[in-house]
Amino acid sequence: MRRFHSYGPVDERKHFTVPRKELIRDCSENLVGDPEEGGHYFTIWAPRQTGKTWLMRQVKKEIENKYGDRFVIGTMSMQGVILEDADSGNELLSWIPDLMRNSLNVSPDVPKDWRAWANYFGRKEGLFDKPVILFIDEFDSLPPKMIERMVTLFRDMYLNRESCLLHGLALIGVRAVLGLGSQRGSPFNIQRSLHVPNFTEEEVRDLFDQYHRESGQIITPEAVSRVYESMRGQPGLVCWFGELLTEKYNPGTDKPIDMAAWNRVYHRALNIEWNNTVLNLVKKAGGEYRNHVLEIFGKSDIRFTLDADWCNYLYLNGIIDTKTETDEYGKETSVCLFSSPFVQQRLYNALTTDIVGDRLPILALEPLDRLSDVFDDSASSSAELNLPALLERYKAYLKRLKAKGLNPWKDQPRRADLHLTEYVGHFHLYFWLQNAVGRRCVISPEFPTGNGMVDLHLKCGEKRGIIEVKSFTDISELEYSREQACRYAKKLGFGSVTIAVFVPVDDEDILNQLSGKTVSDGVTVIVSAIGWV
């Protein structure tokens, strides 16, 4: 029986595979173009583990099946090329014979320079007697100067098609192939570049249907939908969850893979399961553009634009995505959001530790505090937690820190107006909750919009509750947040919701005036204003 596979290209003989026939056809037609006059030179790009190498292999088969031996087709990979001197073109030239031998079945000498290598594809004195279609995989692994040198050479070859047998060319990578690392931009026509998209929901269902047909084991539609929604169809992550659900954490082939199995797998994927794709995303998110990633956790209106280096880097590496919003006047705006709920939550967990640390400097609660009013208040018939009482403990914790001369906001990132950036309070409150009630409750950050708004869901036995985390901007925005929280709580069937709003003041009178309780449409909305300076 075949299985799910998430590391490296899939093999349809051994692994469950999405056929993606239209994508293969588009790529094939671009490479072949006019069979008599020439195909196109273009790029295939997408984040890692999205199926680029698999696509390359499928397109090669497609062209061979349709055109027989009319073309010489080669698939060359730069992944194993190791260069000690990134500025030396001669060093890469020494790899050319092995690369061409393995991909094109020819054995040239080491070219004396790059022009000599281009001449290998010449019509008169080259190595080939028919047109060549060439894929170069992992092109991003080359140094930027080498990439620029090679694509400039390919452009010259394209412009001199009458004397060159390089019929079609596909450079496969993530970012640099688009020219975004070059001062001169890409020498290729970016509009013809091919983006490998995520799986659609239908394609994800098809993968799990294949598993059901071959194994006989039931997997519920709800569990399959959750795989798609949580990963937004990212191929590597979808197949990784397929492995976890059907192999490592399979409840037994005589039992269905249902929401209970899904919840168990999702929790472990967030906390204890290793995955190279996820670790790579976390590393990149915590790198040069870390503050931009953090800002997306605090604001929902950050404009998406590929003109910004940080934005195109995070987008092309699969950390963020974009959505288009339309205001009441019909004006469209593209804003940033995270690429998937799962990626967002993994980043949230990693960055919480990065910002707050791995332990609190003092106890989260007073030693004798049993939290009786939080869990067993007078309205004990209610299934909801007394979260305002819990947030009073958090505010008391901040005061105890201050009394000891400890400032949790010291050295944290600040905006141009010197106020703390919005996300700092979000992470700190979440970490405090984990320490204060983490042994009694499951605390799950939820991100309804994919950016900006953070909801902390608490489930403590049969009791539950929601804290919406906000940063204060002005009164009108706070009123809007109340209305929004009311609608959200009603949608989830909650009778109350608590808003923790961080305010850049420490004046208790102002904080008390901003705090309060309102009832709207049968939902109690409680605002707890928390000062931070």
Report helix, strand or coil for 147. Answer: helix
pLDDT at position 141 is 84
**What's the whole-model pTM score?**
0.86
Amino acid of residue 319? I
pLDDT at position 24 is 96
Those residues whose C-beta lies under 8 Å from the C-beta of residue 9, and which sit 6 or more positions away, are 51, 53, 54, 57
242 and 119 share a domain? no
Confidence label for 178 from pLDDT (cuts 50, 70 and 90): low
Residue 460, beta-bridge partner list: 463
Q: Taking 70 as the threshold, does the pLDDT of residue 396 lie above it?
A: yes
- Of 214, 246, 273, the one marking the end of a domain is 273
Distance CA 77, CA 102 (A): 10
Does 455 map to a domain?
Answer: yes
Q: Which two tokens stand for residue 293?
A: 């990633």
pLDDT at position 322 is 93
Average pLDDT over residues 231-239: 96
Those residues whose C-beta lies under 8 Å from the C-beta of residue 61, and which sit 6 or more positions away, are none
What's the pLDDT tens digit per position in 347-375?
Answer: 999 999 888 888 899 999 999 999 999 99
Does 415 map to a domain?
Answer: yes
Q: Which two tokens stand for residue 209?
A: 């249907």
Out of 37-41, 194-198, 411-415, pick the least confident. Answer: 411-415
Average pLDDT over residues 163-184: 73
| Separation in Å, CA 205 to CA 21, 51, 231, 252, 258 | 17, 18, 13, 21, 14
81 and 172 share a domain? yes
Amino acid of residue 222? E
528 and 424 share a domain? yes
- Residue 192, Cβ density class (10 Å: 0-12 exposed, 13-18 middle, ≥19 buried): exposed
pLDDT at position 183 is 52
Does 15 map to a domain?
Answer: no
Distance CA 258, CA 229 (A): 15
Q: Taking 50 as the threshold, does the pLDDT of residue 380 lie above it?
A: no
Domain count, the chain: 4
What's the pLDDT tens digit per position in 320-355?
Answer: 999 988 877 778 889 999 999 999 999 999 999 888
Q: Which two tokens stand for residue 397?
A: 């914790």
245 and 287 share a domain? no
Does 8 map to a domain?
Answer: no
pLDDT at position 379 is 46
Residue that is written with structure tokens 């004046």 in the block: 507
Sequence length of the chain is: 533
Check residue 247 and report its DSSP letter: I
Does 4 map to a domain?
Answer: no
528 and 383 share a domain? yes
What's the pLDDT tens digit per position in 243-253?
Answer: 999 999 999 99
Q: Taking 60 as the threshold, does the pLDDT of residue 184 lie above it?
A: no
321 and 438 share a domain? no
Q: Taking 50 as the threshold, does the pLDDT of residue 165 lie above it?
A: yes
Report helix, strand or coil for 408. Answer: coil
Torsion angles phi and psi, residue 466, rounded to 5: -125, 135
Report for 24-28, 140-144, 180-184, 478-482: range of highest mean pLDDT: 24-28
Check: CB of residue 231 under 8 Å from CB of residue 267. no
Angle, CA 310 vertex, CA 266 and CA 341 arms, to 5°? 15
Q: Which two tokens stand for residue 328?
A: 């009441």
What's the pLDDT tens digit per position in 302-317?
Answer: 999 988 999 989 998 9
Q: Is the pLDDT higher at 60 or at 326?
A: 60
Q: Taking 80 as the threshold, does the pLDDT of residue 189 lie above it?
A: no
350 and 370 share a domain? no
| Separation in Å, CA 5 to CA 47, 202, 242, 393 | 17, 19, 8, 47
384 and 458 share a domain? yes
Alpha helices in 3-95 (DSSP H): 21-32, 52-67, 89-93
Helix (H) or strand (E) holding 459: strand 454-460
Q: Is the pLDDT higher at 268 or at 114?
A: 268
Report helix, strand or coil for 19. Answer: coil
Does 16 map to a domain?
Answer: no
Report helix, strand or coil for 84. Answer: coil
pLDDT at position 292 is 92
Closest by Cα among 444, 445, 448 to 484: 448
Alpha helices in 133-275 (DSSP H): 144-159, 201-215, 221-231, 235-243, 259-271
How many other CB atoms sit within 10 Å of the CB of residue 429?
A: 20
Residue 136, beta-bridge partner list: 76, 171
48 and 185 share a domain? yes
401 and 481 share a domain? yes
- Of 273, 293, 325, the one marking the end of a domain is 273
Does 444 map to a domain?
Answer: yes
92 and 239 share a domain? no
Burial 8-45 (b: 16+ CB within 10 A, else e): ebbeeeebbbbebeebbeebbebbbeeeeebbbbbbbb
Supply the range of the domain harboring residue 266: 201-273
Helices (H) and strands (E) counted in the chain, each on its own, are: 19, 13
Q: Taking 90 as the threshold, does the pLDDT of residue 211 lie above it?
A: yes
Closest by Cα among 310, 304, 309 to 290: 310
159 and 236 share a domain? no
- Of 312, 337, 357, the one marking the end of a domain is 357
Distance CA 257, CA 225 (A): 12
| Sequence-ordered strand ranges (E) for 281-405 | 320-326, 332-338
How many other CB atoms sit within 10 Å of the CB of residue 502?
A: 22
Does 458 map to a domain?
Answer: yes
Average pLDDT over residues 147-175: 88
